[in-house]
Amino acid sequence: MLSTLDLPPPRIGDAYNPDCPTRHVLDRIGDKWAVLVMLTLKDGPVRFNDLRRRIGAISQKMLSQTLKSLERDGLVSRAAFPTVPVTVEYRLTPLAGGLIGILDQITHWAESHVGDIMAARRAHDGTDALAA
Amino acid sequence: MLSTLDLPPPRIGDAYNPDCPTRHVLDRIGDKWAVLVMLTLKDGPVRFNDLRRRIGAISQKMLSQTLKSLERDGLVSRAAFPTVPVTVEYRLTPLAGGLIGILDQITHWAESHVGDIMAARRAHDGTDALAA
DNA sequence: CCGTATCCGCATGGATACTG
DNA sequence: CAGTATCCATGCGGATACGG
């Protein structure tokens, strides 16, 4: 069965393959909260509830979850101080530096080209409106 | 209500804000299928069903949907030829070039640092195992 | 203050069937 | 060949409540 398309694995260098190195990084960058958290930590360590307030629209659950996965990937480190009540600081690891660099480039590209995208969108939607 | 945290909009420069230019670009890059489609179109125009076969794991629905949104954003262009049956070619626009550049950088960074991430992950999981 | 556990609505996306 | 339309499972993520 499927004789016409038994291509072994996907073809292109980066085609869908859960094990592709790029996939993992792409998934991190694609993670809305992970990006926001990393950008918020960019200028230094921040405590849990500060993080929450600064990001604003994030739920406790998502923040906790995001921090744990970032910590697991060695992108964020956690430091707890036995004050009372307990104080916990999160900060970026050196490894995260490269990601921040990429995020900065995305931001830069976005700021200079989002106008084009919006224009294309308006043009497209306008065409649609006429067609309809 | 919510008197303690009626911060107007989110604070930090890039905190969650659906209108932030970077947000749109990040969402595109975060879109698994959009990335795969763009990478598959990187070397030249490809027809609908070829695209489907090359990517392999994508459904018709997702491919169609992804192509439409990429077209809307001016990142992909569509050309139909009145052959019978009809032939349709998709190709990247010049605007997409910048995104491809960024994707290449992500790939490059990923290939040189994913080892670190995986190591951190193993270390972390190992620690967990001991703790458990 | 710093989380974890639970419930649950809702959007994402696959499978399938049908049209030009 | 190139799509569109429909149905439906599942998983993401918010709200809430509770524990360390």
Residue A13: pLDDT over 50: no
User: Residue type for B121, please?
Assistant: R
Residues packed against strand D, CB within 7 Å: A 31-33, 57-62, 85-86; B 47-50, 60-61, 64, 67-68, 78, 85-88, 90
pLDDT in tens, A18-59: 778 888 999 999 999 999 999 999 999 999 999 999 998 899
Residue A84: nearest nucleotide (C-alpha to C1'):
C1
Contact criterion met (CB < 8 Å) for A39 and B14: yes
Listed in order, strand segments (DSSP E) in chain B are 46-47, 76-81, 87-92
All structural domains of chain A: 21-131 (1.10.10.10)
Q: What is the mean pLDDT of chain A?
A: 87
Contact criterion met (CB < 8 Å) for A105 and B102: yes
pLDDT by 10s per residue, chain B, length 132: 333 333 344 444 456 787 888 889 999 999 999 999 999 999 999 999 999 999 988 999 999 999 999 999 999 999 999 999 999 999 999 999 999 999 999 999 999 999 999 999 999 987 766 655
The b-or-e profile of B34-56 (16+ CB within 10 A means b, else e) is bbbbbbbbbeebbebeebbbbbb
pTM: 0.86
Do the bridges between strand B46-47 and strand B76-81 make them parallel or antiparallel, or are there none, so unpaired?
unpaired
Residue A60: pLDDT over 50: yes
Q: Are A45 and A91 in contact (CB under 8 A)?
A: yes
- Predicted pLDDT of residue B15: 67
Cβ-proximal residues to B76 (8 Å cutoff; 6+ apart), any chain: B37, B38, B41, B67, B70, B90, B91, B92, B93, B96
- Predicted pLDDT of residue B5: 36
* Radius of gyration for chain A, computed over Cα atoms and rounded to the nearest angstrom: 21
Protein-contacted positions of strand C (CB under 7 Å): 1-6, 13-17, 20
User: Residue type for B88, please?
Assistant: V
> What's the rounded Cα separation, in Å, for the pair A88 and A78?
7
- Predicted pLDDT of residue A93: 98
- What is the pLDDT averaged over residues A100-120? 94
